[in-house]
Every structure is written in C-alpha cells, then in structure tokens.
Chain A
C-alpha cells in the first residue's frame, strides 16, 4: 500500500508573509548575550593556533630511551611519515611523506571535531553568527543551513567517529607503552604516564558520548524491548551524551596540554618525574 495516500488529511494552503509585530531591531535582549560566543571563539582560536604551531614543529614530540621514557604526543601518534624520529613506533606507512607526520594524522581528530554536533553549534554561533545568540538576528541575509554543499558534508560525521575510535585505540596503546621505562628498570609510572592515560580516557569519554555513537549503538532501534543489548548500550551512552559539550571542551584542552607536556619534556625544559 502506498503509505501516505488515503491517510493524509487534505492539505490547506500555507499562509506566508503577513506583518510581524514588534520593532525592527536586531534584538531586544539586554543581558550579556555577546559574552558566551566571544569566549567560545577565543578558546577555539587559541586551540587552533597552538595545534597548528605544534603540528608544524616536527620535533620534540617523542621522549625516548635516552630519557628512559616512552612518551609520544597525541598530535603525532601513530607516527606514519618518513620523518618519524627513531623509537616513536613509526610505521613509515607513508614513506613518501616527508613533512611533519602530525599534518597527516591530525586530519582525523580535526574532521571528527569539525563535524561534531556540539562543535557545529559552537562555531555556527560564535564564528558564523547564525545565530550568534538566541533571539539575535542572523548575521546573514540568506540561509540554507546544512542542506547544500559544503555544509551537507557534515552528514559524514559517523565515519569520522569510526576513524576517531581507531585513533583512540592507538592512543590507548601509547598510554600503555608509557608504563615502560626503557633502560631504567622495566615498568613504572611517571607523571607522563598519567598524563597520557588521562588523555586517552578523556578521548574515550568524548567519543563514546558522541551523538553518532548513540545512534549507531542503540538509537536507531525502535523496539528496545526486542533488543536488550542495544537498549543497554543506549542507556549507558545517553547520560554521557548529555555531557557531550563538557567532554568536548575538557578533552580538547587536555589533548593540547598532553602535547605541551611531552614537548616540554622532549625539549629538555622539564624532566618527567618518576612516581614509582
């Protein structure tokens, strides 16, 4: 049976236009609605500037056996270029790539975060001003949302989610490797170990709380009672998903701090203290 015919009430024409009430002003709000988008903008810019700088360094991203450590910056892992420093578990997968290996691998977290439903909200509001805040007129005359190229590409988010999970597995391996103290008594824990572990855990929380993850794990099911496992997963993910924004900011900040920590140790500015 055709699904709509016969069950759809006769449509009546939509009345468009008509004079609107209220004054013709950008907004009637008087609270400090400009503050939040400005903070978002500043913070995102700060991160982008730092990440770009760090990605182009192509040095000081690995602390190896000479310092009795095995710490790699999350921006450079897995190291898959020709220029990977010895010991950094480099696979030379892309042996023809001679620039900074970070420029290759960062495409994944970049794509994941750029297409993330939360960051979309953040930059649509703070950078694109559509809208800058609720009840404030759109910054653009025409608006087609995510229906056209290029923004229609946002729909590939779930693929970046899968790639992001693969990357998290790599970073988790890095975190486990960070328990090795090469040349100085096998296994141990240093501040660097904890930093790498915390970073991996936060990234897992960020990924698991993703909206695409919630959908793929259970959200797409209509009859939960027939799919107890998927329903169980959905029940676990849903409260995390409600905290996705917070997890996005915390994990973003911590990734940068982890890179900074490894960088400072690798360049000899600080030493990585061993705890036990």
Chain B
C-alpha cells in the first residue's frame, strides 16, 4: 500500500508520520503516534469517545481523514494542560463525572470546544454540545454539572485555560 509522509501539528509540535490516503485520524494518533488517550468506542461516529480538537472545534477522529488535517492544529487529551491540569479535568475528577473513564476524554474535548466558543453556556447549551457523546456509567448528570462548574469558575475569573 502506498504510504505518504505527512506532517501533522498535534499538541503544539510537529509530527512526521507515514500514512495511507484513507487512514483516519484516530488510527494515526493511536497507532502511529502512540497517543492512546483518545479512545475508540465504535469507529462509526456514534459514541464520541474519539473526539479531538481540530482548529478549536470538537471533531470525531474516527470519521476524519488524516490527510485533511495537514496544516491544521490538532489537540488531543494529552495536549490539554494549563499548565498542569485543565479546570475541566479537575472538575470531571472531582464531581464524579468520570467512572470507568473510557468516555471521559471525549466529553472533556467536546466541553473544551464549547467553553472556548461560549464561555457562559446555559445548561441546555451544554446538553446540546455533549448530545453526541455516550456514557454508559454516569447517567450524564455529573458530567453536565462538571462542565457547568467550570463555566461558572471561569466567569468568576477563577479558572483559566
């Protein structure tokens, strides 16, 4: 199979990697670059476990061609540090928004994109943002709480990213 060497900007640094034209971003970050924080829950765009940020927007990496990402800024869960722990990460851990953890990074990346665009979302807006993310453990309530708490903190100037 024909491979192509491409450069991807991931978490602020440039990674050179050999890909095939049809490789999806999820495979490239997990298999080629060993960034295993991004999870595979379904491989068909139905669970949200594989969300990453592409130019600031939450995207399903299992449905995104790696080729399309050339020249774009990709952030995975491993790149989410401000400087040590992102407020969203702290909030998910403290509010009980993460049980088995398999879905967690997908929710955090989705929430990050939401809060970057809309720092003061209403509860319904949070729900809308995460409506494509599945969690089988928590029943979602504590996840929405966590995101809401971070929004409140940021509004009061206590958290920053």
Pair from one complex? no
